[in-house]
Structure formats: structure tokens, C-alpha cells
Amino acid sequence: MSIKFHDKDHGFRAFFRRAIEIKAGRVKVGVLADDSKGGQERDGGLSNAELAVIQHFGTKTIPPRPFLYQAFDKHRTELIELGGRLIDGVLGGKLTTQQALNMMGGKLAAEAKATITAGMAPPLARSTLMKRDKVGVRKLDKARKKVSGLIEAETDSSTGQTRKTARHRALEKAQARLSKATAGLSKKPRSLGSAFAKIGRYMAATQKAERAQRRAVGEAFKKIGKLASAQSKLQAAEARVGSHLPLVDTGRLLNAISWEIEKHK
């Protein structure tokens, strides 16, 4: 009696090979000194990679702004979930290891660029902003002062409530008189003359209340218009100064960020 065994591969060898590849896979993300972008030199021989190191880790006079760390920390959960999906894709044969690593590298590189574009803490010092754009900073200071002054003028510092203006108080007084005159109409008059007097008081109170309301509403809209105009100028000033992102030569760093798959040794 003879027994024959047939070892039939159902895809385990390919699965095992892909598992080894993805485990050993590495992708570098950043301003890489050994590629054409990171190694490019400008400004007296300072390469893009050296500029990135200065900005990322800081110097004695420049505070650190770690754009790579911030991008990773902000999107850590998202990146981990993406990594899990990519590993599943590789093990399932839907993706190659190289495709998965390129997708991960591209994702982190994009988030690093977005972090730079959005601006990072700490903001630029006032002295730095003044060197770059004195007019813009002064306009920003003026706009902030204007908006703050308009808000403070309308706020009671003791209560924190909106301050009542003279026209606001006049409106409340006119409305109180109208309410009193309206209540008087419901009472039975003693005589015909008394009835006409009540009607007259009601009509007069109505007219005064309407005038007071128009004045108060007009005043409110005027103040709203002033505040809206001041806030619009403030936004424009913030946009102008905000365009000076904390990183020196932002466009240069944005163009230099890339990724590279490490070769197996």
C-alpha cells in the first residue's frame, strides 16, 4: 500500500512574502538632504534640508516650529488607520508594498505642507512682523483698537451687559406710557370727554413710541454698520499680516518636502 501526499499551495507563499516585505518596508518623509529638492542650495549655500532643520528644531534666536511632528501628532489616529488599511491591502494582494508606502508617504507629506500653510505656534514676534511689514502691523493695531473700542463703548463693564443708550431709555419710557394708555382703554370711561381723552392719550403715546422705536432702530443699525465695517478692516489687516507665515521662505520648504521609500539592505 502506498500513500501519496500532494502539497498544494493556496497562496500562503505569496502571502508570507508580502508579509515580510511590508514588515521591512520603510518610507522617509520630510526635506531629505539626499534628494534633489532637499539638497538644493540657496541663500549663501544654505540647503533646503539645512533650512528645514533650523526651522524644525530652532536656534538661539529662532523658536522651534516642528512642522513634521505637529503634522504627525495632529493626524496620528488617521495615519494609523490608513496604515492598517494599507497593510490589509498588501496582504490581500490588492496593493504592492511600494504602492502602500507611496500612499503613506504622500499622505504625511501633504499634511506637513498643510501644517506649514496653516501657520504654526509660536506666531512671529511683533519685532519680526514690523521688519517685514510696518504698515500692515500698524493697520492691524488700529483695526483691533477700533473694534475693541466699539465693543467696549456698548458694554457695561460692571454687568457685562449691553449699555443702554439715551434713545434706548427713551424707547423704554415711551413703551411704558403706551402700555399704560392701552390699559386705560380697557376701563369704562366716566364720560364722553373722558373717553376721548383716553383715546387721545393712547394715540399720542403710540406716536411717541413709534418715533422712539425708529430712532432706536436707526441708531442700532448705524452702530452695527460701524462695527461691521471695523471688523471687515480687521479681517483684511489680519489676512495681510497673517500671510507672513512663521517659517522663513515658506514656499521653498513647501516645494522641498517629499518622501522616499528606503531600499532593503
Could you report the per-residue pLDDT of 68-127, keeping only the tens digit for each? 999 999 999 999 999 999 999 988 888 899 999 999 999 999 999 988 888 777 777 777
Is pLDDT at 163 greater than 90 in this prediction?
no
Could you report the per-residue pLDDT of 173-200, keeping only the tens digit for each? 888 888 888 888 777 777 777 777 878 8
User: Any idea how long the chain is?
Assistant: 265
Could you report the per-residue pLDDT of 13-35, keeping only the tens digit for each? 777 788 888 888 899 998 888 77
**How wide is the angle at C-alpha 74 spanned by C-alphas 72 and 75, nearest 5°?**
65
Q: How far apart are CA 157 and CA 159, in angstroms?
A: 6
Question: For the whole model, what pTM was predicted?
Answer: 0.54
Q: How far apart are CA 183 and CA 206, in angstroms?
A: 13
Alpha-carbon dihedral angle through residues 64, 65, 66, 67, given to the nearest 10 degrees: -160
